[in-house]
Amino acid sequence: MIERTPILNVATHVIMFSGLLLLLVPVWFAFVASTHTMQAVNAIPPEFLPGDQFFTNIEAAWTRADFATKFVNSMIVAVGVVVGKVAIAAITAFSIVFFNYRLRQLAFWMVFITLMLPLEVRIVPTFAVAANALSPFQVLMNLFGITALVEAVSGVRVELNWNLLNSYTGLILPLVATATGTFLYRQFFLTIPDELVEAAKMDGAGPIRFLRDTLIPLSKTNMAALATIMFVFAWNQYLWPLLVITDTANFGVVVVELGRLIPDMTTTGGGIPEWHTAMAATLIVMVPPLLVVVLMQRWFVRGLINTDK
């Protein structure tokens, strides 16, 4: 604080506080709706203050949407994406930064370009690939005559098939296929002084040893930052699980389940919408990523800024 500005200070507090309230509006009314009975929620004029049905509604939403299974699924996907990303990004960046091979630059650019196109814009063909994740290799083998060759030699026609629909792998792998984390690690690895590498080599440590004993301990903050972001990103995925999972009873995730709670989307339709359970479910779904962001705020902000995600 450089000068005394009492009036401006009051104005600052007023503006900040109204900003807070404005951001709270949807969540507050979702909360209010989740604490009333269906009749009270649909009544006009609407309620502004919470009632006493909160736990009844939460319980109803929990069972109606079968959150017991879906929470576990969402958790598996989120953790899978986090672990996959943190691990794969680390070794890729390590390879690109600490080795000097001919295809290094090419590998870097191949990874870098994936930053440009989010899953949503290439959704149709990506979905087709998920139906058979090995189809690219099959096509290539057919194209180069390998399939025909193998068939001629052994009499067996090679049919590669790996269906990822309705599986955790199908939910996780395509979400790992972007460059977000690789970049974060690369920027950090570039700041590691050459002397450290020389010292490790002189002590007889190979690359794997160096990665495990020196780089990974040094990258802990980066890992935490990446993990928080990827957790929120994976938990909040909607379009991809919506397409890949048709067997929602076993593989459904919570966020997709939300969309099904209010059956009739657009105009008129049968029955009164059950806003009280839908809003209760909304609140439940919000909790895990919210906890991650609030509790790991420092890493989260750092990761967000450094990955430009």
114 binds other proteins (CB under 8 A): yes
Distance set, CA 257 to CA 173, 241, 245, 247, 248 (Å):
21, 10, 11, 12, 8
Q: Which of 107, 131, 150, 224 binds other proteins (CB under 8 A)?
A: 107
> Cβ of residue 289: shortest distance to other proteins, in angstroms?
4
What SS3 state is found at 293? helix
304 binds other proteins (CB under 8 A): yes
127 binds other proteins (CB under 8 A): yes
Helix extents (H) in 53-66: 54-64
Neighbouring residues of 100: CB distance < 8 A, sequence distance ≥ 6? none
How many Å separate Cα 78 from the centre of its chain?
6
- 13/154 with CB nearer other proteins: 13
The residue to which tokens 């370009």 are assigned: 113
**Cis omega before residue 217 (within 30°)?**
no
Q: Determine the interface stretch with other proteins among 49-57, 62-70, 142-150, 230-238 (rule: CB under 8 A).
A: 230-238
> Cβ of residue 251: shortest distance to other proteins, in angstroms?
17
> Cβ of residue 154: shortest distance to other proteins, in angstroms?
25
Q: Which of 159, 217, 265, 271 binds other proteins (CB under 8 A)?
A: 265
Contacts (CB under 8 A) with other proteins, residues 60-99: 88-89, 91-92, 94-99
- 9/63 with CB nearer other proteins: 9
Q: How many of the chain's residues bind other proteins (CB under 8 A)?
A: 111
Element (H, E) at 304: helix 297-307
> Cβ of residue 122: shortest distance to other proteins, in angstroms?
5
220 binds other proteins (CB under 8 A): no
144 binds other proteins (CB under 8 A): no
Q: Residue 230 burial (CB < 10 Å; 0-12/13-18/19+)? A: buried
